[in-house]
Amino acid sequence: MTLPFPLIDETIGEKHTEQFPTKQNTQPLPEKFGRNLDTLEKARQWLINPHNWHGGSLFILKWDGLLCTVMKEHGIKLIKNPADLGLPWCVVQAQIKRKNKSDKGESMDDLELQQSGEE
Protein backbone atom coordinates (compact mmCIF):
# COMPACT_ATOMS: atom_id res chain seq x y z
CA MET A 1 0.00 0.00 0.00
CA THR A 2 1.34 3.43 -0.90
CA LEU A 3 0.27 6.64 0.77
CA PRO A 4 -0.78 9.67 -1.28
CA PHE A 5 1.56 12.64 -1.34
CA PRO A 6 1.45 15.86 -3.34
CA LEU A 7 3.73 15.52 -6.35
CA ILE A 8 2.88 17.80 -9.21
CA ASP A 9 2.28 15.64 -12.26
CA GLU A 10 1.76 17.30 -15.61
CA THR A 11 0.85 15.27 -18.67
CA ILE A 12 0.52 17.12 -21.96
CA GLY A 13 -0.20 14.87 -24.93
CA GLU A 14 2.52 12.24 -24.91
CA LYS A 15 4.96 14.44 -23.01
CA HIS A 16 5.14 13.49 -19.34
CA THR A 17 7.03 15.50 -16.72
CA GLU A 18 7.19 15.33 -12.94
CA GLN A 19 7.99 18.50 -11.10
CA PHE A 20 9.78 18.15 -7.77
CA PRO A 21 8.02 20.02 -4.93
CA THR A 22 9.62 23.33 -3.97
CA LYS A 23 8.49 26.30 -1.88
CA GLN A 24 7.58 28.03 -5.14
CA ASN A 25 5.27 25.32 -6.52
CA THR A 26 3.89 23.94 -3.22
CA GLN A 27 1.53 25.66 -0.81
CA PRO A 28 2.44 25.68 2.88
CA LEU A 29 0.20 23.71 5.20
CA PRO A 30 -1.58 25.66 7.95
CA GLU A 31 0.14 25.77 11.34
CA LYS A 32 -3.05 24.29 12.85
CA PHE A 33 -2.53 21.21 10.65
CA GLY A 34 1.03 20.80 11.96
CA ARG A 35 -0.16 20.92 15.56
CA ASN A 36 -2.32 17.82 15.07
CA LEU A 37 -0.19 15.19 13.32
CA ASP A 38 -2.12 12.28 14.80
CA THR A 39 -1.89 9.88 11.84
CA LEU A 40 0.99 8.61 9.72
CA GLU A 41 -0.63 10.13 6.63
CA LYS A 42 -0.80 13.61 8.20
CA ALA A 43 2.78 13.35 9.49
CA ARG A 44 4.01 12.24 6.05
CA GLN A 45 2.15 15.10 4.36
CA TRP A 46 3.75 17.57 6.80
CA LEU A 47 7.25 16.13 6.35
CA ILE A 48 7.23 16.14 2.54
CA ASN A 49 6.11 19.76 2.33
CA PRO A 50 9.18 21.88 1.44
CA HIS A 51 7.99 24.67 3.75
CA ASN A 52 8.68 22.31 6.68
CA TRP A 53 12.25 21.42 5.72
CA HIS A 54 15.36 22.82 7.41
CA GLY A 55 18.94 22.92 6.24
CA GLY A 56 21.91 21.58 8.13
CA SER A 57 22.68 18.08 9.27
CA LEU A 58 22.77 18.34 13.07
CA PHE A 59 19.12 17.37 13.61
CA ILE A 60 16.89 15.16 11.48
CA LEU A 61 13.81 16.53 13.25
CA LYS A 62 13.67 19.90 15.03
CA TRP A 63 10.75 20.79 17.29
CA ASP A 64 9.34 24.22 18.02
CA GLY A 65 6.65 23.44 20.55
CA LEU A 66 4.30 21.05 18.76
CA LEU A 67 5.54 21.93 15.26
CA CYS A 68 8.48 20.14 13.70
CA THR A 69 10.70 20.51 10.68
CA VAL A 70 12.69 17.76 8.99
CA MET A 71 16.12 17.89 7.40
CA LYS A 72 15.65 18.55 3.68
CA GLU A 73 17.46 15.36 2.61
CA HIS A 74 15.11 13.22 4.70
CA GLY A 75 12.05 15.02 3.32
CA ILE A 76 13.28 14.19 -0.18
CA LYS A 77 13.85 10.55 0.81
CA LEU A 78 10.23 10.35 2.01
CA ILE A 79 9.01 11.65 -1.34
CA LYS A 80 11.10 9.09 -3.23
CA ASN A 81 10.09 6.21 -0.92
CA PRO A 82 6.39 6.55 0.05
CA ALA A 83 6.46 3.19 1.86
CA ASP A 84 8.95 4.50 4.47
CA LEU A 85 6.92 5.02 7.65
CA GLY A 86 9.82 5.50 10.09
CA LEU A 87 9.97 9.30 10.37
CA PRO A 88 6.19 9.80 10.18
CA TRP A 89 5.79 7.27 13.00
CA CYS A 90 8.43 9.09 15.08
CA VAL A 91 6.68 12.42 14.54
CA VAL A 92 3.26 11.06 15.56
CA GLN A 93 4.66 9.44 18.71
CA ALA A 94 6.82 12.43 19.67
CA GLN A 95 3.96 14.88 19.18
CA ILE A 96 1.66 12.80 21.38
CA LYS A 97 4.35 12.74 24.08
CA ARG A 98 4.94 16.49 23.77
CA LYS A 99 1.20 17.25 23.95
CA ASN A 100 0.88 15.14 27.10
CA LYS A 101 3.80 16.99 28.71
CA SER A 102 2.31 20.34 27.70
CA ASP A 103 -1.08 19.39 29.17
CA LYS A 104 0.67 18.55 32.47
CA GLY A 105 2.50 21.89 32.43
CA GLU A 106 5.87 20.20 31.89
CA SER A 107 8.53 21.23 29.38
CA MET A 108 7.93 19.66 25.99
CA ASP A 109 11.67 19.12 25.47
CA ASP A 110 13.08 15.68 26.13
CA LEU A 111 15.34 16.63 29.03
CA GLU A 112 16.16 13.01 29.86
CA LEU A 113 17.84 12.59 26.47
CA GLN A 114 19.71 15.90 26.77
CA GLN A 115 21.03 15.02 30.22
CA SER A 116 22.16 11.52 29.20
CA GLY A 117 24.05 13.01 26.27
CA GLU A 118 25.98 15.36 28.55
CA GLU A 119 27.29 12.61 30.82
pLDDT means per 10 residues in the chain (119 residues)? 57 61 93 96 97 94 96 95 95 95 85 42
Percent helix, strand, coil in the chain, to 5, is: 40, 20, 40
pLDDT at 9: 56
In the chain, beta strands by DSSP E: 8-12, 15-19, 53-54, 61-64, 67-71
pLDDT at 109: 75
pLDDT at 117: 43
pLDDT at 107: 86
pLDDT at 14: 56
